[in-house]
Chains A and B, each alone.
Chain A
Amino acid sequence: MIIYHYQVLYFPRESLKPHSRTESSSKAAFLDHCETLWMRSAAAWRDAGLTGLLNEIANSSAEVPKWLSVSSGCVLALLQRISSFHGSLFPHLTLSSEDMIAEFSQVLKWSDCAVRAFAWHPHTDKFAVALLDDSIKIYNPKSATAPTLKHRLQRSVAAVQWKPLCASALAVACQNCLLVWHVDPCSLSTRPSSGCAQVLSHPGHSPVTSIAWSPSGSFLVSASPMDTNMMVWDVAAESCVPLQRVGGGGVTFLSWSPDGSHVLASTPAALFRVWETRMWTCERWPCLKGRCQSGCWSPDGSRLLFTVQGETVIYALTFTDTPGIPSNTKGPKAAAVVADLSETTFNTPGGDIVVGGEIQSLAWDPRGERLAVLLKGDPQARDRPAMIAVFKTRTSPIFELLPCGFVQGEPGTEPRLMQFHPNFQHGALLTVCWSNGRITHVPFYFLSAGMARHGLGGSPPQPRPEERPADYINQTLYTELTT
Chain B
Amino acid sequence: MWQSVRKHCHFSCVLLICLKSHMKPRKVKLVSVNTSVRLSYHNTGYNIKAAASVAWAVLLLPPSIAVFVIISRVSLLHPIQWISECVSLLTSATAIFSFILLCGVVLIVGFLNLEYYTVIPSIACSKIALLGQLLHPRQFVSSLVHCILGVIVAWCCAVTIGGRYQTLGYPCTQADGSPQLCLNEYQVILLLAGAFVGYCHSVLGVIHNMNYVSFHTVQQYKYLRFKGSLPLVVKCSAIQALYSVRNYLVVYFFLGKCSLHPLDTIAGLLDFSLLYHLWISGTFLLFTWYITLLLFRIFVTEVYSFPVQSSFTEDVHQCLPKVLTGQQPAILKFLALHDLALLSQHSPSRRSEVFSLSQPGGHPHNWNAISQECLSLLADLTQRLVAHHDTVATNGRAKSLSTGSDKKSLSSESTEDVMTPRPSVLIKTPASVFLRSSVGSPLTVPFTPDLDSPFSSPALRRLAGPVEQCSPWHGTVQSPHIMRRGPKLWSTSTGERGLQNKTEHVIPIVDPCAIWANECQMFQIMTCNCSMLISQLLPEASSQALFADTQSHIWALEGLSYLVKASFSEDQFGVVQTTLPSILSSMLVLQEAVDRHFKLPHASSKPVRSTSSMEDSSYKTLRFALRATLKTAIYRITTTFGEHLNAVQMSAEHQKRLQQFLEYKE
Contact of B221 among A235, A239, A244, A279 (CB under 8 A): A279
User: Is there an interface contact between A279 and B636, defined as CB atoms closer than 8 Å?
Assistant: no
Nearest chain A CB to B631's CB is how many angstroms away? 6
The B interface, classified by DSSP as helix, strand, loop or mixed, is helix
Residue-by-residue, is B623-643 near A (CB-CB < 8 Å gives 1, otherwise 0)?
011011101100110010010
Which residues of B are found within 8 Å of A457, using beta-carbon distances? 642
| Known A236-B624, A324-B347: A456·B642 in contact at CB below 8 Å | yes
User: Is there an interface contact between B218 and A232, defined as CB atoms closer than 8 Å?
Assistant: yes
User: Is there an interface contact between B219 and A278, defined as CB atoms closer than 8 Å?
Assistant: yes
User: Is there an interface contact between B621 and A238, defined as CB atoms closer than 8 Å?
Assistant: yes
Contact of B609 among A123, A168, A238, A281 (CB under 8 A): A238
Contact of A237 among B224, B618, B666 (CB under 8 A): B618
B661, closest chain A residue (CB): A167
User: Is there an interface contact between B228 and A280, defined as CB atoms closer than 8 Å?
Assistant: no
User: Is there an interface contact between A186 and B621, defined as CB atoms closer than 8 Å?
Assistant: no
**Would you call A323 an interface residue if the criterion is a C-beta within 8 Å of the partner chain's C-beta atoms?**
yes
Which residues of B are found within 8 Å of A280, using beta-carbon distances? 218-220, 224
Distance between Cα atoms of A217 and B569 in the complex (Å): 21
**Would you call A216 an interface residue if the criterion is a C-beta within 8 Å of the partner chain's C-beta atoms?**
yes
User: Is there an interface contact between A237 and B621, defined as CB atoms closer than 8 Å?
Assistant: yes
A280, closest chain B residue (CB): B220
**Would you call B488 an interface residue if the criterion is a C-beta within 8 Å of the partner chain's C-beta atoms?**
no
Nearest chain B CB to A179's CB is how many angstroms away? 15
User: Is there an interface contact between B665 and A244, defined as CB atoms closer than 8 Å?
Assistant: no
User: Is there an interface contact between B217 and A218, defined as CB atoms closer than 8 Å?
Assistant: yes
Nearest chain A CB to B74's CB is how many angstroms away? 19
User: Is there an interface contact between A167 and B228, defined as CB atoms closer than 8 Å?
Assistant: no
**Would you call A98 an interface residue if the criterion is a C-beta within 8 Å of the partner chain's C-beta atoms?**
no
Nearest chain A CB to B357's CB is how many angstroms away? 23
Nearest chain B CB to A326's CB is how many angstroms away? 10
Nearest chain A CB to B212's CB is how many angstroms away? 14
Contact of B665 among A165, A185, A281, A325 (CB under 8 A): A185
User: Is there an interface contact between B228 and A239, defined as CB atoms closer than 8 Å?
Assistant: no
Which residues of B are found within 8 Å of A218, using beta-carbon distances? 217, 629, 632
- Interface size, A (range): 35 or more
User: Is there an interface contact between B635 and A239, defined as CB atoms closer than 8 Å?
Assistant: no
User: Is there an interface contact between B665 and A167, defined as CB atoms closer than 8 Å?
Assistant: yes
Which residues of A are found within 8 Å of B601, using beta-carbon distances? none
B626, closest chain A residue (CB): A236
Which residues of A are found within 8 Å of B629, using beta-carbon distances? 218, 236
Nearest chain A CB to B607's CB is how many angstroms away? 10
Residue-by-residue, is A221-251 near B (CB-CB < 8 Å gives 1, otherwise 0)?
0000000000010111111011110000000
**Would you call A166 an interface residue if the criterion is a C-beta within 8 Å of the partner chain's C-beta atoms?**
yes
Nearest chain B CB to A132's CB is how many angstroms away? 29
**Would you call B20 an interface residue if the criterion is a C-beta within 8 Å of the partner chain's C-beta atoms?**
no
**Would you call B216 an interface residue if the criterion is a C-beta within 8 Å of the partner chain's C-beta atoms?**
yes
User: Is there an interface contact between B624 and A166, defined as CB atoms closer than 8 Å?
Assistant: no
Which residues of A are found within 8 Å of B618, using beta-carbon distances? 237, 239
User: Is there an interface contact between A239 and B642, defined as CB atoms closer than 8 Å?
Assistant: no
A239, closest chain B residue (CB): B618
Distance between Cα atoms of A309 and B346 in the complex (Å): 35
Nearest chain B CB to A239's CB is how many angstroms away? 7
| Known A238-B621, A239-B621, A455-B569: A323·B346 in contact at CB below 8 Å | yes
Nearest chain A CB to B615's CB is how many angstroms away? 13
| Known A123-B664, A219-B217, A324-B346: A165·B624 in contact at CB below 8 Å | no
The A interface, classified by DSSP as helix, strand, loop or mixed, is loop
User: Is there an interface contact between B217 and A325, defined as CB atoms closer than 8 Å?
Assistant: no
Which residues of B are found within 8 Å of A243, using beta-carbon distances? 220, 228
Which residues of A are found within 8 Å of B221, using beta-carbon distances? 279, 281
- Interface size, B (range): 20 to 34
User: Is there an interface contact between A234 and B348, defined as CB atoms closer than 8 Å?
Assistant: no
Nearest chain A CB to B594's CB is how many angstroms away? 12
**Would you call A124 an interface residue if the criterion is a C-beta within 8 Å of the partner chain's C-beta atoms?**
yes
Nearest chain B CB to A187's CB is how many angstroms away? 10
User: Is there an interface contact between A242 and B228, defined as CB atoms closer than 8 Å?
Assistant: yes
User: Is there an interface contact between B218 and A216, defined as CB atoms closer than 8 Å?
Assistant: no
Which residues of A are found within 8 Å of B217, using beta-carbon distances? 218-219, 234
Nearest chain A CB to B561's CB is how many angstroms away? 9
| Known A216-B345, A279-B219: A237·B625 in contact at CB below 8 Å | yes
Which residues of A are found within 8 Å of B349, using beta-carbon distances? 324-325
Distance between Cα atoms of A74 and B362 in the complex (Å): 81
Which residues of B are found within 8 Å of A236, using beta-carbon distances? 621, 624-625, 627-629
Nearest chain A CB to B659's CB is how many angstroms away? 13
Distance between Cα atoms of A218 and B622 in the complex (Å): 14
User: Is there an interface contact between B621 and A123, defined as CB atoms closer than 8 Å?
Assistant: no
B347, closest chain A residue (CB): A324
User: Is there an interface contact between A234 and B625, defined as CB atoms closer than 8 Å?
Assistant: yes
Contact of A165 among B218, B220, B639 (CB under 8 A): B639
User: Is there an interface contact between B347 and A325, defined as CB atoms closer than 8 Å?
Assistant: yes
Which residues of B are found within 8 Å of A322, using beta-carbon distances? 348
Which residues of B are found within 8 Å of A281, using beta-carbon distances? 221, 224
Q: Which chain A residues numbered 198 to 220 have a C-beta less than 8 Å away from chain B?
A: 216-219
User: Is there an interface contact between A244 and B625, defined as CB atoms closer than 8 Å?
Assistant: no
Q: Which chain A residues numbered 165 to 185 have a C-beta less than 8 Å away from chain B?
A: 165-168, 185
Which residues of B are found within 8 Å of A234, using beta-carbon distances? 217-218, 625
Nearest chain A CB to B220's CB is how many angstroms away? 5
Nearest chain A CB to B614's CB is how many angstroms away? 15
User: Is there an interface contact between A166 and B218, defined as CB atoms closer than 8 Å?
Assistant: no
A202, closest chain B residue (CB): B611
A235, closest chain B residue (CB): B628
Most chain B CB within 10 A, of A165, A168, A234, A243, is at A165
Distance between Cα atoms of A213 and B250 in the complex (Å): 51
Nearest chain B CB to A256's CB is how many angstroms away? 14
Contact of B346 among A165, A232, A238, A278 (CB under 8 A): A278
Which residues of B are found within 8 Å of A219, using beta-carbon distances? 217-218
Which residues of B are found within 8 Å of A244, using beta-carbon distances? 228
13 contacts between A and B (CB under 8 A): A186-B665, A218-B629, A234-B217, A236-B625, A236-B629, A237-B625, A243-B220, A279-B219, A279-B220, A280-B218, A322-B348, A323-B346, A324-B347
Binding site for B on A (CB under 8 A): 121, 123-124, 165-168, 185-186, 216-219, 232, 234-239, 241-244, 278-281, 322-325, 455-457
Q: Which 9 A-B pairs have the closest CB atoms?
A: A324-B346, A236-B628, A237-B621, A165-B635, A324-B347, A167-B664, A236-B624, A236-B625, A241-B218
Beyond the given A234-B218, A280-B224, A281-B221, please list 11 additional residue pairs across the A-B interface where CB-CB is below 8 A.
A124-B664, A165-B639, A166-B635, A186-B665, A217-B632, A218-B632, A219-B218, A237-B618, A239-B621, A241-B228, A324-B347
